[in-house]
Amino acid sequence: MKGVVFTTFLDMVESTWDFDMVDTIIENAELKSGGAYTAVGTYDHSEAVALVTALSAATDIGVNDLLKTFGQHLFGVLIKGHPEFAAGVEHPLDFLEGVERYIHVEVRKLYPDAQLPQFECNRKSDDELIMIYASGRHLEDLCEGLIRGCLDFYKTQAALTRLTLPDEREEFTISLRSDSP
């Protein structure tokens, strides 16, 4: 997993709690890397799981909720780093449809070792999108957070529903509220 995910996570822990909490979870997670991440490095995905699990134990907040909150925050950081991905894209559902077709394609060029999920999209209408998420890493909660972060970025209200398919992929249905811009 790319270092930017780790550095953003630890920054969020520090700003939500404090540096002692960062210290505590790095210690308790018993990381191979020792917790010294750089944004351009690549680290074992199991370290991310260990950090989130340690934060959950220290705060009594569930892992699922922590991953959703983190995903929502991560979107803001990713789009600040790559504002060009939203340039000229006026509609949040157009943006989300573009994650598989365009954004992650560009991410792959920038970071050839990135481990990215696959999305299958079905645009039901102008205001409704179905995104089917597939990844061996099963970061469905992070994905939900990223979708919510994208909706926040576009200042849009939407109903988001999730369904686990028999093949273990996760189907997200995003329906914009009619009173949204």
Strand partners, 120: 132
Helices 19-29 and 3-16 cross at an angle (nearest 10°) of 130
| Site membership for ligand HEM, residue 79 (CB under 6 A) | yes
Give the total residue count for the chain: 181
**Least CB distance from residue 18 to ligand HEM, whole Å?**
26
Which residue number, 60 or 155, has a Cβ lying nearer to ligand HEM? 155
Rounded to whole angstroms, the Cα distance separating 148 from 158 reads: 9
**Least CB distance from residue 87 to ligand HEM, whole Å?**
11
**Least CB distance from residue 143 to ligand HEM, whole Å?**
4
Q: Are 38 and 2 in contact (CB under 8 A)?
A: no
Location of structure tokens 């273990």:
168
Q: Which of 26, 96, 158, 176 binds ligand HEM (CB under 6 A)?
A: 96
Rounded to whole angstroms, the Cα distance separating 133 from 117 reads: 7
Interacting residues toward ligand HEM by CB under 6 A: 1-2, 4-5, 75, 78-79, 82, 85, 96, 99, 103-104, 107, 111, 114-117, 135, 137, 139, 142-143, 146-147, 150
